[in-house]
Amino acid sequence: MSDKLTEIMAWKRQEIAPLLRAVSDAELARLDASLPRPPSFAAALRRTDGRLAVIAEIKRRSPSAGDIKAGASSVDQAARYQTAGADALSVLTDEKFFGGTLDDLRDVTAHFRTTAPARPCIRKDFFVHPIQVLQAREAGASAILIIVRALTDDEIKTLAAAAAAAGLDALFEIHTEPEIARALAHGARIIGVNNRDLAIFKTDLGLSERLIPLFPSSVTAVSESGIHTAADAARVRAAGAHAVLVGESLMKAPDPTALIAAFRSP
């Protein structure tokens, strides 16, 4: 694990420590049954026209980019992405490093419950415990993030089971070939290649080109980070990506509609 990721994960474990309690799969299943069904994240990533799906991210800042769009309204940004035709949204809920909160997710999913067309949202955070899965489901998420290199196999198993019990999809994020095998061992159906090496903050789209062809055909492939232009999107699509997750360039784009259309261009 990189030094920055180690720092983030150590902070996350400290941050959620006061909230920790036993959360059973049965409790999560009861919660799922009691709440409205969110739109499917997995289904949104497989477009019927064969073009790239776009997961548009709400991200005010990051350790690598610094401030991206400080003070941005999560609902306003979600509405922009909705109008632009994004297939799904990623909502950062980590405050210390990314400037997001769980309220951002609550507000965005509430917006989609009253304004069509709804878009599925993934809670983008550093998951270590089922209590965070419970929070995600309560806040209206459709999916959670599981960062393979940041977790033990027991933790991945627990989080994957919790997501399934809560009726949520899981995006398994990987960065190396051995992590593909680890994700698949835990039943991953959606795997994202993070093109950014958090050890040195270098982004290399060649990572998606090398790793995505190794995925089973049944797996939905996502390329994350470093997608700025139509040419970038075309590279990862040619490698087999079904979707791209884009934050910084869409947050800064004066016209997200044009940029998303460019990502989808043949």
> Does pLDDT of 197 surpass 90?
no
Residue spans of the domains in the chain: they are: 3-17+38-264
Query: So what's the pLDDT on residue 71?
Result: 87
Query: So what's the pLDDT on residue 266?
Result: 72
Q: Which residue has the higher pLDDT, 56 or 67?
A: 56
Query: So what's the pLDDT on residue 68?
Result: 85
Query: So what's the pLDDT on residue 62?
Result: 87
Alpha carbon separation from 153 to 2, 159, 194, 220, 239 (Å, rounded): 18, 10, 19, 21, 28
pLDDT, the chain, mean: 95
Query: So what's the pLDDT on residue 67?
Result: 85
Residues 6+ apart with CB under 8 A from 199: 2, 3, 4
Query: So what's the pLDDT on residue 203?
Result: 87
> Does pLDDT of 204 surpass 80?
yes
Q: Read off the pLDDT of each residue in 232-257 and give the average, rounded to a whole number.
A: 96
Does the domain made of 3-17+38-264 have the CATH classification 3.40.47.10? no
> Does pLDDT of 1 surpass 60?
no
> Does pLDDT of 214 surpass 70?
yes
Query: So what's the pLDDT on residue 4?
Result: 85
Query: Using one digit for the tens of pLDDT, what is the confidence trace for 165-195?
Result: 999 999 999 999 999 999 999 999 999 999 9
Model confidence band, residue 65 (pLDDT cutoffs 50, 70, 90): confident
pTM of the model: 0.96
Query: So what's the pLDDT on residue 11?
Result: 96
Query: So what's the pLDDT on residue 200?
Result: 63
Q: Read off the pLDDT of each residue in 155-159 and give the average, rounded to a whole number.
A: 98
Query: So what's the pLDDT on residue 199?
Result: 62
* Residues 103, 139: Cα–Cα separation, whole Å: 8
Query: So what's the pLDDT on residue 202?
Result: 79
Output phi, psi for 89, to 5 deg: -120, 150
Model confidence band, residue 153 (pLDDT cutoffs 50, 70, 90): very high
Q: Which residue has the higher pLDDT, 95 or 68?
A: 95
CB 91 within 8 A of CB 58: yes
Residues 6+ apart with CB under 8 A from 148: 156, 172, 173, 174, 175, 179, 182, 183
DSSP-derived secondary structure for 132-143: HHHHHHHTT-SE
Query: Using one digit for the tens of pLDDT, what is the confidence trace for 80-106?
Result: 999 999 999 999 999 999 999 999 999
> Does pLDDT of 217 surpass 90?
yes
Q: Read off the pLDDT of each residue in 137-154 and give the average, rounded to a whole number.
A: 97
* Residues 248, 226: Cα–Cα separation, whole Å: 9
> Does pLDDT of 223 surpass 90?
yes
Q: Read off the pLDDT of each residue in 56-78 and give the average, rounded to a whole number.
A: 91
Count other C-beta atoms under 10 Å from residue 202's C-beta: 11
